Structure 1
């Protein structure tokens, strides 16, 4: 039988991100993270700070997996929850995020003369 390496962490993180953003009190956060690029950055932020769990299994069984939440303890689930909130705050603190979310286009700023040249 053909074996496949399955990342169990990614579906957990993406499900938690969806749940948290759906319940987030500020609509602007949900609107910003509706942009796929920013959602990917948030996912990458969380995944970079977690131990990733992989398993090797039969490739047909890998497609049938529905629940992978048992791979982490309740403390680790709380950590994932905290990392998602930290990621939301960290990514929204960057000015380029706000520029992209306004109309989903990059906002051009006016050229400002530099005082460096005198």
Structure 2
């Protein structure tokens, strides 16, 4: 049988991105990262900062990978989660400003007399 090289990191990262965005407190983040280009940029951000894990498998069993999460330690899973959050912040700018901008709360502005006319 022929051997196939399989990247185990990509499916782990994409699954974790899906899980984190589904649990994110702001629905707007999920909407923003539903755009394929931004989702791909987030994935690229994380993958560029991780060691990639490859395995060789028989070509007949390469598609039968159900659980690839055991390839990383719990510390590495925590690092992947942290990188995803950093990537979200990096791609959207400072999150606290972004959250305020899209907050449904309205701030009442006090009328201040102008000194323009003297």
Partner SS, residue 4 of structure 2: strand
Partner SS, residue 87 of structure 2: helix
Which residue of structure 2 lines up, in the alignment, with residue 10 of structure 1?
Answer: 10
Structure 1: how far apart are the matches of 2:56 and 2:34? 32
Structure 2: how far apart are the matches of 1:54 and 1:65? 13
- 1:86 and 2:90 equivalent? no
Which residue of structure 2 lines up, in the alignment, with residue 56 of structure 1?
Answer: 56
Task: Report the TM-score when normalising by structure 2.
Answer: 0.78
Partner SS, residue 57 of structure 2: strand
Cα displacement (A) at 1:93:
1.1
Report how many aligned residue pairs link the two structures: 95
Partner SS, residue 60 of structure 1: coil
Deviations 1:20-79 (A, max 9, x none): 000000111000000001000000000000000001110111101111000000000000
Structure 2: how far apart are the matches of 1:68 and 1:10? 10
Partner SS, residue 12 of structure 1: helix
Task: Report the TM-score when normalising by structure 1.
Answer: 0.78
Displaced runs of 4 or more, over 2 A: none
Unaligned ranges ≥5, structure 1:
99-118
Structure 1: how far apart are the matches of 2:59 and 2:81? 30
Structure 2: how far apart are the matches of 1:65 and 1:83? 24
Unaligned ranges ≥5, structure 2:
99-118
